[in-house]
Every structure is written in C-alpha cells, then in structure tokens.
Amino acid sequence: MKALRLYGPGDLRLVDEAVPVPGSDEELVRVTAVGVCGSDLHWYSESGIGDVKLSRPIVLGHEAAGVIESGPRAGLRVAIDPAIPCEKCEQCRAGHQHFCLALRFAGDGATDGTFREFVAWPSESLIPVPDSLSDADVSMLEPLGVGLHAIRLGGIKPGERVGVFGCGPIGLFLIQLARASGATTIVATDLLPHRLEAARAAGATDTALVSGGAERVELRAATGGHGVDVAFEAAGVDDSVETSIQLAAPGGTVVVVGIPSEDHTTFTASAARRKGLTVKLSRRMNRVYPEAIRLAESGLADLRSIVTGSYPLTEHKAAFAAAAAREGLKVVIRPSE
C-alpha cells in the first residue's frame, strides 16, 4: 500500500509499505478521505506540535473516513475516531478519555495516522455513518466534534453574544454551532477576506479583518458596546487570544481552542482579572461522534461547505501547499485512489 510519511520539516515522502494486520480488537479499514488539519501543518512545517517532537518518520492525518475491508462488518462506511484511550486509568474511568495519560492519537507522537491506504484500527473507534454523508463529509466529523466540545465548554445560552476569533474550519463550525445554540450576535475576525465571507455564510452577524487590534473597536460597537458573553479563540496566535480577552464582557468566558506554534500563550492579565473572566482551554474532543452525526443529518451543521479542495494521495505536495497557503477552507486527501 501507499503511505505518506513525514521525515522532517516539509519532507513528506510517498512510500510503499505492507498492509497492516489487524489485532484481535481491530479491523482493517480502507481510508477514503482525510482532512488536512492545522495540527498536521504544525507537524509539516515544524516537525512537531507543542512539546511533542518528531522522533521517527510518521504518517500524519486524523480527520478520517473509511470502509471496513474484512470480517463481519466488511463494507461498512465509518468515521475513524483518531483517539485510542487506555480505558483503564482514573480519567478514562471517570469518562474523560480525552485526558487519558496513555492516550494514543493518530498522526501524533508514536502513532501513525491515516494518510495511507489502509489502517488497522480498534473496532470501538470505528463509528458507522449514514449514506447521506459523503466520504469528505465524514472526514469533517472530527473537526466538527472539536468545535462541539469547545461549544459545550463555552456554555452558550440562548440570546447571548458570541465572538469567534479565527475563521478556519473549526472557527466556522464554532459559528454554525453558536448559531444553533441560540446566540443572537456572533462577531468574528480573520486575516483572510474569503474566510470572513465564509463566516458570514455560516451565521456571523458582524466580521472584521484583523488589523493590529483596531478591529476590536468595530466589533465592540457591533455588540452594542457590551462585548461578548462567550469568546472562542480559534487561530492559535496571541493576537486572537488578546482579542478574546479584550472583547469578553465582565463575567464572561473565553475558550482557547487554537494551538500556538511556540507552545506559549499570553494575554493581558489585568484585563482578564478585572473582568473576572473564566478562561478555559479546550482539549480535542471526547466521544462526540454520535452527536456530530446527528447535527450533520439535521442540517444544523454544514459539513460540505467547509471542504474546498480534494486531492488523491499522489498529489500530496499540491494538497499540503494549498493547505499551508490557507487557500480556500479545508483540503481533503483521498488515500485509496
């Protein structure tokens, strides 16, 4: 089979490897679609993410759809949950599998991901999907799940004002879900005009290009001068964190979703302290695929609008170049074509 391995910064190689053999609790899956995530781009450009660095050539990719190849469920279309918790530790037993200290995650650290034709994956992490969702749609269930987890941390109440700062795919899902949660005002920022256009289509009521902080005045006015009750930082840069802090209303909540390149996040402490803000950091997601599927089927989440580029695995260079240049919204790679 073909697999795409990262050997160093910008050094992706398409290699031939043996088809994996499933273990006793695993099934063989033919991978049909994988989204290129912002975290994949961290690995691609920096050979790591946060405090985890490349220790061996690794297969990236964790936003994945596939078809089970053999066994009693052969032919079943599935979403591939990238997280494999131990299910034995204190956090897992408490229902917090995303905090498992022994967690294995596709395309991160020591666990190969899904930019390859086949994976052998635990049966419990293969979630059946309806035929109404395309393969590309199914690959978007993972970033939708990340957005859903963050929305729950934010605790949006109907009628509240919301800010989303960073309008990549997860930011756009946050806007969709904030609207579905009853937010009446949704303000958003980004560096790219086409992403702000997508934000307005997703439900943002007011948008502004990032402009050295000047955009904060414009967006505060859009909230009637009140600021936002819940702010979501989804860009992974300090400027967006600071915008979240500055635009959050007294007593408000800031949810940090983005991952910074330098593994440090800073903001003005006095502004957060004087307003008594609650600052939460969002950690991936936790077993939310069933809810994500229901949101997609009901039309409350629009998966299809997020995918703007699709490439076979053999065109991985073009795919990663488009994703790194932030062309469009989301790039999907089709490994089994």
Q: Is the pTM of this model over 0.95?
A: yes
Tell me the mean pLDDT in the region 209-228: 96
Q: Tokens for 298, please give them.
A: 């009901």
Return the pLDDT at 231. Answer: 98
Confidence tier at 41 by pLDDT (50, 70, 90):
very high
Looking at the predicted structure, is the pLDDT value of residue 22 above 90? yes
Which pLDDT value is given to residue 211?
A: 95
pLDDT band at 192 (very low <50, low <70, confident <90, very high): very high
The answer on 28 and 130 residing in a single domain is yes
Q: What is the pLDDT of residue 109?
A: 81
CATH number (domain holding residue 38): 3.90.180.10
Query: In the beta sheet, which residues pair with residue 6?
Result: 12, 58
Mean pLDDT confidence for 314-335: 97
More confident residue, 36 or 71: 36
Residue 318 clears pLDDT 90, i.e. is over it: yes
Question: With contact defined as beta carbons under 8 Å apart, do 158 and 174 qualify?
Answer: no
Q: Are 109 and 228 members of one domain?
A: no
Does residue 51 lie in a domain region?
Answer: yes
49 contacts: CB under 8 Å, gap ≥ 6: 39, 42, 43, 108, 259
Burial class (CB in 10 A: 0-12, 13-18, 19+), 298: exposed
pLDDT in tens, 273-288: 999 999 999 999 999 9
pLDDT of residue 51: 87
| pLDDT tens track for 97-156 | 999 999 999 999 889 999 999 999 999 999 999 999 999 999 999 999 999 999 999 999
Residue 24 has pLDDT above 90, yes or no: yes
- Same structural domain, 60 and 110: yes
pLDDT of residue 42: 93
Q: Do 107 and 169 reside in the same domain of the chain?
A: no
Strands 330-334 and 26-35: antiparallel
Residue 266 lies in a domain: yes
Q: What is the DSSP string of 209-243?
A: E--TTTHHHHHHHHTTTS-EEEEEE-S-SHHHHHH
Q: Are residues 102 and 168 in the same domain?
A: no
Q: Which domain holds residue 263?
A: 144-281
Q: How far apart are CA 189 and CA 204, in angstroms?
A: 10
For the chain, give the percent of residues with pLDDT over 70.
Answer: 100
Strand partners, 12: 6
pLDDT value for 235:
97
For residue 189, list its beta bridge partners. 165, 208
pLDDT in tens, 285-298: 999 999 999 999 99
* CATH code for position 168: 3.40.50.720
